[in-house]
Structure 1
Amino acid sequence: MYAGVDKYGGAVVGEGQPDGSAPAAGSAATGLSLEEAVETAAAEETVVVDVPYSYYEDDADESSLVTGTSQVLLTAQLNPEAGGLMWVEQESSQDAYKNVVAMSQMTSMLRDLDRNRCYELGIKGAIERFVARHKRAPIVLDIGTGTGLLSMFAATHGAEHVYACEMFKPMADIAENVTKANHPDKITVFALRSTDLIVASEESGGVGHLPRRADMLVSELFDSILLGEAVIPVVRHAIEHLLVPDAAILPERATVFAHVVQNEQIYRLNSVSGQFLNDQQAQLARNDAAWECTGGKPALPLHYRALEPQSTPLTNVTPVLSFDFTKPIASATTYEETVVNAVASGDVHAVVMWWEVSFGDDAESSIVYSTKPGAQNWQDHWVPVVFPLTEHVHVDASDAVVLRTHHDDLHIWFDVELQQEPQTQLSSPSKKKMKQQQVQREKMPCTCGLHLQRKTDRQQDNEDLACLDISDGSLCALLAASQGVANVTSVESKDVSARIFQQILDNQPTASETQVEVLCCGCKGLLPDHLQGGKPVDLLLGEPFYYSMQNLPLWQAFNFWLRRSAVAPTLAPNALVLPARARVCALAVRFEHLHECFGAVGDVSGYDHSYFDQFQESYYTRNFPFPVYMYPYEAVSGVLTLAKCEYQSVAESVFTELTTELPQEPNGVIVWVEYALDAEEKHVVATGPAAIHSKQLVRFLAPSAATTAGQNATKVSLQSRFHFNALEGTIDVDFAIV
């Protein structure tokens, strides 16, 4: 149910997914090394780091040496002196984990009434069938228990005992307390991966977590792409090591559905092929092969209905994969071909998929949960997945189209081609299943390097001058070089990115006319001598964009200001900074559904979740990153200005307060940044709610006292407070309804 991560932020780094391998000795999940954590973590993540220790119990006795490792939790903040991130130890691990739980999709899942109903009816029916067949109650195993909801369903409907496991220890603690409050004697929770569970046997000396193999497995190890939470290897391991032969497994089956669409917006989420950046034909490619890179077949979970009006379906929806979880699924990369007729003419830009799972012995009586748009109540934890394709396939209506669906233990991906041999029009889709090795259709790796460095929502967006680009991605440096700027230096935070963009810049038509260098370094301590041309900088550039802050637009804006301050010694007296300024904007809104995905849940299917609700206390103080265009809302204010950054000057603290009267009470505020490229603000780059290629911050609002008391307030005001502390590198945003 919960893996310690969520779609948009607040993740825990250092606690990985189970791989379904042979059972390991029982041990807690280990964290990352400090070097690995700093290199890979994003700013919004909480990092678990292993710190080795050693000491002598008796200084006079060398044999008394004690060694081990302890886990330290780190959180990020902006470095006020140099820009970039610095990692500080979290004083309270409880507060850190509360933040992770509050920002997860757990509330959304618990409030999914259709999901809860399907699981309860499926578990109830399976236990009834087991009792009728075996004349006794089953032992039930619940893997990935979350708050313990499925375990409580099983206990309520007649399980002899339920053994539940949860790899994320804070979540396991929640499950233990929630299940004790509702079924104190019938559920045992282990803070372990299922692969660490041991069944008591002669080999184990009669010691184990389970007294015997379980008769039934219940689990909900699905993400939007179905397989990403390791359901296949986890169930395979359970069948081999934890379950009796012919055990009941819920859900029993899953089916993946897909169709092919034309949508230029989706296509450009993953491809810069054939796109010049300006009239000088600057290419975001390091060679000809990179110019045609297919990007490693990304999977993008989206509320597809937001993009549906601009899409043309080229085929009908058809089932493309099916899984029977009651039998071990081999660990192999395979694919299935489904041949369908095109229903319209157009260019193949993407495949859209969703899935359904079923509970029950036969198709007629089975209970089905589907992630098809509109099939269930609105929710945000499982959404359709879009796969942008870049193979340049054009189809005409009635063409036979081969939709090839690949999968391994954790991934699904697609490719599409026209059927080569002539064939009469199909009355229904035809299918065949093949081993992956028969056709070289592996998930192609990225060849351009950009897809390794940038998320998909980032793919779009004179003679003696010296230019310095202090954003990651070197796009501004590329544009400056294409305009003939003589000396261009770009600073990258990652070594691999520096190498890729050096190759891209060297591959440009103007490469022979421009001196370009990409440095992998920080900004503090840079001097003109370190830069291309060895002279002061006339033009300082930035998008701003930083790999580690992709989900935090406010951090990116103020990080650019701090980095601009750090490189002040490199600037010429009249240097121009682009963008010239930034404006932090806010919009008070009433979300239709999004606000329902977080916060306290109270009672879930009749079970008290008050202990879980204690972890939601920070819900209204957290900034959630969302691509807001996918979530319907009604604006109840105009655009508010919370703060301004004057990039022509060094960073300084900013503090603002304002009160805005509103016609009705909002349940959220959307926050974003606008960049004025010039001092006159003739050219402004907006990253607001209508932008598909940007995320915004969402702050949910607690109901007013009047609303809580069931009254209609005659006057509603929004109090906004913004504080950037340039000395500490901290950003605080607060909103309240009065």
Structure 2
Amino acid sequence: MFSRSLLKFCVKPWNLVKFSRNMSESLFTQSLNPITGKNEWVAQVDDYDYHQEVARAAFADMLHDSERNQKYYAALKKEIAKLHADGKEAHVLDIGTGTGILSMMAVKSGADSVTACEAFMPMAICAEKIMKENKMWDKIKLIKKRSTDIILGEDMDKKANVLVTEVFDTELIGEGAIGIFNHAHKHLLTDDCVVIPSLSRVYAQVAETPQTASWDKPKMFASLDGDVLLQTPKEILECKGEAGVHDIQLSQLNTGQCNFISEPIQIFEFDFMSKTPILENRTNIAKFQAKTHGTPFSIFFWWDLNMDVEGEIVLSCAPYWAHPDFPELSKLASKDKPVQNVIPWRDHWMQAIYYIPKPQMVNPGDELVLTSNHDEYSFWFDVGKTELSENIKRYTCNCSFHIANCRSRIGQLNQSLRNKKYLRIFEEEITKSSVVLSLSDGSLLGLSTAKMAKEVICLEAHRFSRECLESYVKSNKLENVKIIKSLDEVENFEKITHVVAEPYFTTSIVPWDSFYFGTLLNQIKGKLNEKVTILPKTARLFAVPVEFLDLHKIRTPLGICEGFDLRIFDKFIDTASELADQVVEAQPLWEYPCKALGEVVEVLQVNFDEFEGILERSGVVDIQYSAKCNGIAVWADFDLDGTNKPKSTVSTGPTEPVVVGSFINWDVNVRQGVHIIPNPVTVTKGCSSMAWKVTFKPLQGDIKFSFKVQ
């Protein structure tokens, strides 16, 4: 039920480790500031923890899914009416009620009694207020605890004969759905109960795409002339990787580059109506013939729900090319551009990718086996030409590389154009007499200078990244490389001729968090030779007003939803977000189509070897396209040699020039920043504008944004 985007990327970027104490009725949180690299005590309102929990919950995204709402409502009406037609009463149990909307739907559908439970206390309190506002408090019994903690005869008078629940995530079972359903059937439901939804089918499709392949393992590093700079260590190439889910908006992939080795295959069925407990561990063997020639790197994954008992009301989470409600869209699967705004959009239930441990080349007609496994909370897969029974156990990374690097970072390491920009500058600047200090986390680019320089020193404070670099050093026999945990280990700063960075750091969430490079330079500034070369030299922040097709829904007020007044919830979330969220949050914008409404504007420039003082800029950019402005996109460009020329600029933003009125093509391997406008502003070409202001205090690691569209 929770949104990947909110849970993963909306968290206050530097609130990673948190402690609290009461001092004069205030609350302090200890936080890691990614720009300074320091833990800091930050004063918060005394109920900050409460507001942060609420802001993280992401119920609004789910409730903006009108298809979900309407099909739950239709199934409740149908099943309750059937019970009444058979002369039976309908006693409904709503597990994980959230705002209480499903319970209120049950009341409106004629349920004889409704019991709701919600363990997330801030949400339970909100649900109580919403039920009272909608004059249903006397019709719904709210239990503020987990369903698995409910005691029959104490919390509930009798068993329910209708269960309605939404305890699903992108993996379907990741929130513990198996245990919840099994417990409910055993302790809380009658033998003849109706369950909404009644059944789920899980699908997998074997595919090969350049993009997903680049998210799995690192490629060889070569010079501009094609000479090998770094070979990938054998232990990384042979590692099975991580079996964990990579949740993603599959419909936004460039399907023109997708090679579908199989059709969608149903791999599991979960019968939520069954009186027999759902098994927590299963393996499914599916045999199929390869459709095309290729190497199956990936498994595309999604599921659907039968909302009613007969399966007449179906909700599908399929990508557009496999969506049963829009069969004509499958013809577009060969197009180069993703399908925009056609199938129902949802961010709480996306699709997913899983990676094949050891992909093998296949030919059309080859007999293949898809082995699918699940435990109580997750799935994992393999594909081969024989049955792969040994993969019943979940596999994990044994090379450190997949632990140290998230999927998008692996893709970034494999970006050929990006790497060539760095290598071109390195080859121009670094000679056989150079001593290089690399200040990035897990930087293969920094390590690649070993073939160009006399000596390379790599700062690597993080254990798994350090283990990765050490394996590269050993495998490539790089005798001129020294890996250090701290800058204190540098014996002679005077001999360093070049300080290089991508920059990339594991603590970075938004692009400008990598300004930590400037902080590290400040720490050694007085120790370096005056003639030292710094790469990159500068960074610039850019912003553009946009109209998102869907992303703004994670912040847009609900108001009246399916006839129920949820404005209390809107206020509840707004208050929490205002206190706990940043003005600009991180999002992978390539997954969320948006149109540019004005020209791109540079809002800040940072010089890394002058990383001090206060930088403040402001301005106004005209709106040049009439639409609804619901967001501002923000990103960083890093200028390697300070010339600001495209050939030496590495961007975390658009991959092509931004055209006003057109969709923006974003870098798929980084998260950009976005300021979402909860109440979209209708803007008119030539009459509207976006005012902006940015203040940056480098020594404090404090950057503040202000945007106003009018």
TM-score, length-scaled by structure 1: 0.81
Instruction: Supply the AA of the counterpart residue of 2:404.
Output: Q
Does the CA contact (< 8 Å) of 2:245 and 2:354 recur in 1?
A: yes
Instruction: Supply the AA of the counterpart residue of 2:240.
Output: T
Instruction: Write out aligned runs for 1:310-459 (5 A).
Output: 310-327=257-274, 328-363=276-311, 366-374=312-320, 375=325, 376-389=343-356, 391-419=358-386, 439-459=390-410
Taking the aligned partners of 1:115 and 1:79, their CA distance within structure 2 comes to 38
Deviation at 1:316, TM superposition (A): 1.4
Instruction: Write out aligned runs for 1:78-93 (5 A).
Output: 78=33, 83-89=36-42, 91-92=44-45
The answer as to 2:482 corresponding to 1:516 is yes
Deviation at 1:123, TM superposition (A): 1.9
Deviation at 1:304, TM superposition (A): 1.7
Taking the aligned partners of 2:22 and 2:543, their CA distance within structure 1 comes to 45
Task: Determine the structure 2 residue equivalent to 1:147.
Answer: 99
Deviation at 1:271, TM superposition (A): 1.4
In structure 2, the CA distance between the partners of 1:501 and 1:312, relative to structure 1 (3 Å rule), is same
Does the CA contact (< 8 Å) of 1:469 and 1:540 recur in 2?
A: yes
The answer as to 2:453 corresponding to 1:495 is no
Q: Secondary structure at the match of 2:611?
A: coil
In structure 2, the CA distance between the partners of 1:212 and 1:44, relative to structure 1 (3 Å rule), is farther
Does the CA contact (< 8 Å) of 2:598 and 2:625 recur in 1?
A: no
In structure 2, the CA distance between the partners of 1:254 and 1:657, relative to structure 1 (3 Å rule), is same
Does the CA contact (< 8 Å) of 1:701 and 1:737 recur in 2?
A: no
**1:216-235 Cα distance to aligned partner (Å, 9 max, x none):** 32211111221211111222
**1:628-649 Cα distance to aligned partner (Å, 9 max, x none):** 1222222122221110111122
Q: Secondary structure at the match of 1:344?
A: coil
Task: Determine the structure 2 residue equivalent to 1:656.
Answer: 617
Mean Cα deviation higher: 459-468 or 605-614: 459-468
In structure 2, the CA distance between the partners of 1:704 and 1:591, relative to structure 1 (3 Å rule), is closer
Work out which of the residue numbers 501, 504, 511 in structure 2 matches 1:553.
511
Taking the aligned partners of 1:621 and 1:717, their CA distance within structure 2 comes to 23
Instruction: Write out aligned runs for 1:529-544 (5 A).
Output: 530-531=489-490, 537-544=496-503
**1:24-78 Cα distance to aligned partner (Å, 9 max, x none):** xxxxxxxxxxxxxxxxxx835576658799xxxxxxxxxxxxxxxx997737462
The answer as to 2:104 corresponding to 1:157 is no
The answer as to 2:131 corresponding to 1:172 is no
Taking the aligned partners of 1:43 and 1:387, their CA distance within structure 2 comes to 27
**1:283-339 Cα distance to aligned partner (Å, 9 max, x none):** 475x42222323213422222222212212222122121111223545543211111
Structure 2 gaps, min length 5: 326-342, 413-430, 655-665
Instruction: Write out aligned runs for 1:87-166 (5 A).
Output: 87-89=40-42, 91-92=44-45, 94=47, 97-98=50-51, 101-102=54-55, 105-133=58-86, 135-138=88-91, 140-166=92-118
Instruction: Write out aligned runs for 1:196-345 (5 A).
Output: 196-200=149-153, 208-272=154-218, 279=226, 281-283=228-230, 285=232, 287-307=233-253, 308-327=255-274, 328-345=276-293
In structure 2, the CA distance between the partners of 1:642 and 1:135, relative to structure 1 (3 Å rule), is same
Does the CA contact (< 8 Å) of 1:10 and 1:104 recur in 2?
A: no
The answer as to 2:523 corresponding to 1:566 is yes
Deviation at 1:656, TM superposition (A): 0.5
Does the CA contact (< 8 Å) of 2:206 and 2:300 recur in 1?
A: yes
Taking the aligned partners of 1:485 and 1:169, their CA distance within structure 2 comes to 60
Task: Determine the structure 1 residue equivalent to 2:658.
Answer: none
Mean Cα deviation higher: 585-594 or 191-200: 191-200
Does the CA contact (< 8 Å) of 2:6 and 2:58 recur in 1?
A: yes
Instruction: Supply the AA of the counterpart residue of 1:552.
Output: V
In structure 2, the CA distance between the partners of 1:244 and 1:44, relative to structure 1 (3 Å rule), is farther
Taking the aligned partners of 2:152 and 2:4, their CA distance within structure 1 comes to 26
Task: Determine the structure 2 residue equivalent to 1:693.
Answer: 669
Task: Determine the structure 1 residue equivalent to 2:695.
Answer: 723
In structure 2, the CA distance between the partners of 1:466 and 1:159, relative to structure 1 (3 Å rule), is same
Taking the aligned partners of 1:574 and 1:329, their CA distance within structure 2 comes to 71
**1:580-616 Cα distance to aligned partner (Å, 9 max, x none):** 1111111222222222332210011111001111122
Q: Secondary structure at the match of 2:517?
A: helix
In structure 2, the CA distance between the partners of 1:129 and 1:122, relative to structure 1 (3 Å rule), is same
Task: Determine the structure 1 residue equivalent to 2:648.
Answer: 683
Task: Determine the structure 2 residue equivalent to 1:634.
Answer: 595
In structure 2, the CA distance between the partners of 1:136 and 1:357, relative to structure 1 (3 Å rule), is same
Deviation at 1:449, TM superposition (A): 0.9
Taking the aligned partners of 1:299 and 1:621, their CA distance within structure 2 comes to 27
Deviation at 1:384, TM superposition (A): 1.8
Deviation at 1:559, TM superposition (A): 2.2
RMSD over aligned Cα, in angstroms? 3.1
Q: Secondary structure at the match of 1:392?
A: coil
Counting matched residue pairs gives 647
Q: Secondary structure at the match of 1:443?
A: coil
Does the CA contact (< 8 Å) of 2:208 and 2:297 recur in 1?
A: yes
Taking the aligned partners of 1:668 and 1:301, their CA distance within structure 2 comes to 23
Does the CA contact (< 8 Å) of 2:439 and 2:500 recur in 1?
A: yes
Deviation at 1:468, TM superposition (A): 2.7
Identity %: 25
TM-score, length-scaled by structure 2: 0.84
Taking the aligned partners of 1:247 and 1:534, their CA distance within structure 2 comes to 74
Taking the aligned partners of 2:242 and 2:503, their CA distance within structure 1 comes to 26
Q: Secondary structure at the match of 2:164?
A: strand
In structure 2, the CA distance between the partners of 1:723 and 1:96, relative to structure 1 (3 Å rule), is farther
